[in-house]
Amino acid sequence: MEVLERTINGSNVKIYIGSGLEIEINRALEKYNGNISFVSSILRSIYSKKIRAINSTKSFMKDGERAKSMASLNAVFRKLIKMEVERDSSISYIGGGTLGDLTGYAASVYKRGVHYLGIPTTLLAQVDSSIGGKNAINFMNIKNAIGTFYNPEAIFSDTDFLLNSDPALLRDGIAEAIKMALIMDSHLFKYFTENDIKSIYCSKNLQYIIKRSAEIKLDVVTADFLDSRKIRYLLNFGHSVGHALESYSGNTISHGTAVANGMILESYIAYKSGYSSMLHEEIKDAVTRYGIPLINFRDIEADKLISYMKNDKKVEHGKLNMVMLNESGRASIEEIEFQQLRRYINLYRDGT
């Protein structure tokens, strides 16, 4: 087991990474006056024994992007009130990143904030979304339109949940781990170019990927927790296009697939803007090694895609602050006008 510990925005956060973390989870839960765990209903039969071993009151609910809604939020609040959850109680989630987003937002505003713990069960959540305190729900088909910054006190990334995972969920997590590598660790990116999807069905390899990705994210969010210095923008590499692709498709494209294809297009834009060499083909090769589907951008209307990108939180004074990849392991934040974006997207669609 690995344990990472940081002080983020004045609060202590511990991340436990390894196999068989039930003992550590129960030890943490003993500190509170009861705990209610919101659990992805998909896990009920697959990991029933492991979930029963966690000493908390369980409330099963649907996971996935549709869970990040006002209706789901109201259901969580009703459950908390019915269970008479107090401020010295705690809320936790056992599931993917969307359930983490929902419950984290609820924990941050219920009674002006209650204790919160994360038990992410997907690779994507373990390498990225569970870390950093961002919580949100979608509104009017705009991803993460309403949200807060609120750190969990502890995160338990148990690799046992991954070894029998749906390959599609593993691919989504790998996409985010590749993102971490590209913005801050060329050695980690090299690891991904030398391995493939088969290599991650191993606790040791998973622990390495999760630990290194978590360290990168902790470094960034510790330096800029509230996104006020634009350092945290680096974590959005691939996401300006990726979130737009998700909205464009009505969330039929998975987050990891959207981000992976977003990284390819955004690195092409960085190349055309003069910030890097032709890294987009290298990224495309790495993505395909892990079976992540490639989107045919010829089927994407540039104007419609850009209409969603204009809702990106990094838009200021009519320009997008985009993450421009400079080289493997290094990126910068640069302003780009939407007219220029449209031109580069159309060039990429045309294969030039």
Q: Residue 155 has what pLDDT?
A: 98
Asked whether residue 79 falls in the same domain as residue 218, the answer is: no
Give percent of the chain with pLDDT exceeding 70: 100
Residue 233 lies in a domain: yes
Cα 282–chain centre separation: 23
3-state SS assignment for residue 172: helix
Residue type, 75: A
Residue 229 has pLDDT above 90, yes or no: no
Asked whether residue 181 falls in the same domain as residue 284, the answer is: yes
Asked whether residue 193 falls in the same domain as residue 128, the answer is: no
Q: Which of 103, 131, 165 is the last residue of a domain?
A: 165
Residue 143 has pLDDT above 80, yes or no: no
What range does the domain containing 266 cover?
176-349
Q: Residue 313 has what pLDDT?
A: 86
Q: Summarize the chain as % helix, strand, coil (round to 5).
A: 50, 20, 30
The pair of three-digit structure tokens given for residue 103, joined into one six-digit string: 């419950």
Are 39 and 51 in contact by the 8 Å Cβ rule? The answer is yes
Asked whether residue 181 falls in the same domain as residue 238, the answer is: yes
Asked whether residue 121 falls in the same domain as residue 194, the answer is: no
Asked whether residue 151 falls in the same domain as residue 189, the answer is: no
Asked whether residue 142 falls in the same domain as residue 247, the answer is: no
Give percent of the chain with pLDDT exceeding 90: 88
Give the model's confidence band at 280: pLDDT under 50 very low, under 70 low, under 90 confident, else very high: very high
Residue 210 lies in a domain: yes
Residue 170 lies in a domain: no
CATH number where 46 lies: 3.40.50.1970
- DSSP category for residue 118: E
Asked whether residue 102 falls in the same domain as residue 218, the answer is: no
**Residue 104 and residue 38: Cα distance in Å, rounded?**
11
